[in-house]
Amino acid sequence: MPSFLRLKPMIAMLTLLSLMFISASRALAHADYVSSEPPANGTVTSAPERVIIVFSQELKPEGNTIRVTDARGNQVDRGDTTLDRNDPNRKTLIVSLSPGLSDGVYTVNWKNASTDGHSETGRFRFTINTGTTPAATPLPATSGEEMPGLALLAVGSGALLIGWALRRRVWQR
Ligand SMILES: [Cu+2]
């Protein structure tokens, strides 16, 4: 068998692999968490009146949610998530909180709707510690949960293809 024919499956495989990686990285370019108030894993010394989250892309006016719960899972936001009108770039969400929240650990679950048609979710925690109650324990790291499955799928399929190609090459010898 001429050697150039042996290269064909290799080239096809590499092309397919690159396409998968391109589509995977495109899918990952959504409105990601950039910063927030209170900051993720941060501690504030007085009860905040609102939670503000800044994202990396413009958001739609609807379809965004910030849900804030206390350590017992009780909702402490007022269910009024909106785009922050102070941000002309429309990358900021804001939700108001029940007044006078007590010291403790709070969890923020967010879901956004990017103008590129994609939706993303994530979660972080913050602590209120006014110094009037014993200090709260430190928090685990923040997590952004954005389709890790797709990237894994690309890597997994790539590994399978490489295995398949190698097997074929050994066979043809
Ligand atoms: Cu996107």
**In this structure, are 112 and 53 located in the same domain?**
yes
Give pLDDT, residue 164. 73
- 5-20: average pLDDT: 74
> What is the value of pTM for the model shown?
0.64
**In this structure, are 22 and 35 located in the same domain?**
no
Of 22 and 48, more confident: 48
- 2-30: average pLDDT: 69
Distance 123 CA to ligand 1 centre (A): 18
Structure tokens at 146: 């954005």
Distance 64 CA to ligand 1 centre (A): 15
Give pLDDT, residue 29. 76
Distance 57 CA to ligand 1 centre (A): 9
Distance 66 CA to ligand 1 centre (A): 19
* Total tally of structural domains belonging to the chain: 2
Instruction: Say if residue 172 is exposed, middle or buried (CB neighbours under 10 Å; 0-12, 13-18, 19+).
Output: exposed
**In this structure, are 20 and 40 located in the same domain?**
no
**In this structure, are 41 and 114 located in the same domain?**
yes
Structure tokens at 35: 């910063």
Which structural domain, as residue segments, surrounds residue 68? 31-145
Q: What confidence tier does 105 reach under pLDDT thresholds 50, 70, 90?
A: very high
The pLDDT tens digits of the residues spanning 127-160 come to 999 988 655 565 565 555 555 566 666 777 777 7
**In this structure, are 13 and 61 located in the same domain?**
no
**Crossing angle, helix 148-172 and helix 3-28, to 10 degrees?**
180
**In this structure, are 92 and 128 located in the same domain?**
yes
37-41, 91-95, 159-163: least confident range: 159-163
Rounded Cα distance between 133 and 27, Å, is 44
Q: Which ranges of the chain does DSSP label H, i.e. alpha helix?
A: 3-28, 148-172
